[in-house]
Structure 1
Amino acid sequence: MIRVGLTGGIASGKSTVSALLAEHGAVVIDADLIAREVVARGTPGLEAVVAEFGADLLTADGDLDRPAMGRLVFGDPDARRRLESIIHPLVHRRSAELEAEAADSAVVVHDIPLLAEGGRAGSFDAVVVVDVPTEVQVARMVADRGWSREDAEARIAAQATREERLAIATHVVDNTGTLEELRRRVAGLHDELAGRA
């Protein structure tokens, strides 16, 4: 087995690379999906979030109001740390369970958007960073997501810098070209990682 950390800034194409690696047979463990699972309605994770932040963060149906939670923690580092102290241990535990189920020869890809920020890069056999220039990130968020330039730049500023991500990389996937070029790059990357597994 080879344990791979996959990361990239917002609108870098990390999710596309993750999906392409899965097409090649990699076991993808998506931290964002797990983070949603661990605070789903009826979970101990959601109960802990409500105990910490209050029931105002629930929708009428009893689900976590993700936009409201985002507004609360986005500009408040202390609130974000408190939320992360609840969610991160639950995500780590579930990720470890999924990894334990993978075959010995598997390429196990941990898709972690904030890998550079979390200081866990050293726990992987390889770290893949999907990279595009900041201006490309902004252009994609404006064109594809309908964000304002200011909102896009603020979200980028809240993440690790491009340089900080590249500093933890053992492999860099340039995603400034076409989807076909990206497919070729990811195929070569998977072959290399599978050879090491």
Structure 2
Amino acid sequence: MSLVLSGVVVRASAADYAEGDSLKAAGNAEGRDSMPADTLPLITAAVAPVVMVSAAGLLFLGIQTKNLHLADRIRALTAEYRGLPVNSVSAARRDQLATQLGLFERRLRLSQRALEFLLAALLIFVLTSLLLATGAWPGNRIFTVGGVVSFVGGVACVFAALLVEFLEMRTGLRTIDLEMQDIRRHRSQDP
């Protein structure tokens, strides 16, 4: 039976495979110790946080983009507020803009908090990968436990970011309500 490893053909007998020593039969003839049997699951576990890094990174990019749009909207509302004359006709709109600006500021701060949670999650997931990979060495089981604990911490940070984003979305609905009140008021004044 032949096996190709990195372009080299290694020949092994069926008896070698029958004994269960496939690594030695496949080319570990120098007698070096093969990878411990429990190492592969640890490496697999160390790769799992990489998926969470990708997920947290995508969430981060989306929230950061929204954060930029919120800042642009604040600038636009501020410019409109400053451009309105101070008289009784525009007083209602100025009050509405002031209320909206307060809500947009709250939304921006909530969005920023979500970004901070996601950054913490990214760092924790990278740490988790390192801890779980270090746990593959004999006698380093404490790193494996630390990796599991840090993974749970990273997931908690992602969960916290999602909760904060939920609050931000609820605040966003209040700004829409204010705009719709203005439209309804103008429609009721139309002849």
TM-score range, shorter chain: under 0.3
Which is strand-richer, 1 or 2? Answer: 1
Q: TM-score, normalised by structure 2?
A: 0.24
Q: Which has the larger radius of gyration?
A: 2
Query: What TM-score, normalized by structure 1, do the two folds share?
Result: 0.23
